[in-house]
Amino acid sequence: MITQEALQFLEDLVANNNTDWMHANKKRYEQYKKDYHAFIAGLLAEMKQLDPKLDDLEVKNCTFRINRDIRFSKDKSPYKTNMGVWFTQNKFQKNSPGYYVHFEKGNCFLAGGVWCPEPAQLKQIRREIAFFYDDLEKIVADAAFKKEYGDLSREADNVLKKAPKDFDPNHPAIEFLKLKSFTASQPIDEKLFTDKNFNKTVAQKLIALKPLNDFLYRALETEE
């Protein structure tokens, strides 16, 4: 679980998102970082018991910088006011499948899979689906997956209107092949983050994504 002090820091940052305030609250920020890292360490230890592919991960591999990239954004607020945690199955591969935890006031959720893969990776995933779509169908039909996530995420901007190039529009898995990202997510109550059973509760929810991650991992590790 995360400390109330860490959550209060984020709440205060929402109202004071500027460098002067951050400099004046440097000690609070340093304590926030310690709490953030301790929060990750506890959940990571729980997840390693459930997914051996996470064994090589360290806390530093799972964190996000608090500074925002504002170069191309109309919003020039310098700092993120959310807390994110990313557990990837392969820390050496960009866009490796993984598990994500997000805390933000009014927008807390769990997610996993592969988001916005590079063109070459997208091709690998689609090829795996084309040949082994029955495996993916079993994964999303599994009771544990359906209970926690329902289905893969299918927001309008994540789905092609037509079949992707080089794929038959009548392929039995065409609705999977049209996806541009391969993720699933669920909202969670922000009160859960301060619950003493947070690590076990969330780990059990996240691990329902493991079969999906393993399928995507296989796709990205398979050579043509």
Q: Which domain holds residue 140?
A: 4-221
Alpha helices in the chain (DSSP H): 4-15, 19-24, 26-48, 119-141, 143-149, 174-177, 198-206, 210-221
Output the pLDDT for position 49: 97
Say if residue 92's pLDDT is above 90. no
Work out the angle between the directed axes of helices 210-221 and 119-141 (0-180°, nearest 10): 150
Output the pLDDT for position 75: 82
Output the pLDDT for position 224: 61
CA distance 115 to 134: 22
CATH of the domain at 127: 3.30.930
CB neighbours of 156 closer than 8 A, spacing ≥ 6? none
Say if residue 23's pLDDT is above 90. yes
pLDDT-derived band at 76 (thresholds 50, 70, 90) equals confident
Output the pLDDT for position 69: 86
For the segment 149-174, what is each residue's pLDDT rounded down to a tens digit? 999 999 989 999 999 999 999 999 99
Output the pLDDT for position 95: 87
For the segment 174-199, what is each residue's pLDDT rounded down to a tens digit? 999 999 999 999 999 999 999 999 99
Average pLDDT for residues 131-135, to the nearest whole number?
A: 97
The structural domain count of the chain equals 1
